[in-house]
Structure 1
Amino acid sequence: MNSQIRTYLFTVSAILLLGGAVLYLTQWFVAPYLFAVGAAGITVCYLTESVVGLDFRQKRLHRFNVLSGLLMIAASAFMFKGKMEWVILLAISAIFQTYVAFVGGKGKNNS
């Protein structure tokens, strides 16, 4: 997938994910669908990212991102069932993504 398309897809998916999470508080029936589409888009972006040429540490961080995306998809399943466990899965996913954002910035480009 083209880098520019991946960036656009990630941005739109993140907005849908955030919108779905916020609108869930209002009990609007569309909120789980927005959240699920956003989670799927973010996961697709993570899964199509190339790992060729990355060192072991960067590949590990990439696996954290993939796991984070899968946790968001699982959170959307709990959201459809009306269970509040989706909040816990989303929080774990956010912790993984925050970790990758801070540690991953010290990659091959900055050394």
Structure 2
Amino acid sequence: MAGSISGVGAQQASLAQSLQSNNVDQQDRAARNGEDQQKAAEQGSKVQARGAAASQADEIEAARNKRKDEDDKTQNRTQQAASNSNQNTTQRRGSLVDVVV
């Protein structure tokens, strides 16, 4: 009654083969991890570059807005000065007319 034990026999891989395939699996896993890390680093670089570009665009937009505000203030001052000048001229003319009459 000598029978074989289930799972043991000619089909069983040798220890050396098992260790070798395990080593190959570890190398494959390490290679995949390296690729994943490289992809993550590239993605991080892309995100960082987009962030820098967005920041630069925001700075440019802020500078444009500031310049527009300053231009608007200058234009308002110029219009106010012209209006004051016109009022002064009108008042002077009126006084001259009053004096002459």
Larger radius of gyration: 2
Q: TM-score, normalised by structure 1?
A: 0.26
Higher RCO by CA contacts (8 Å cutoff, separation 6 or greater): 1
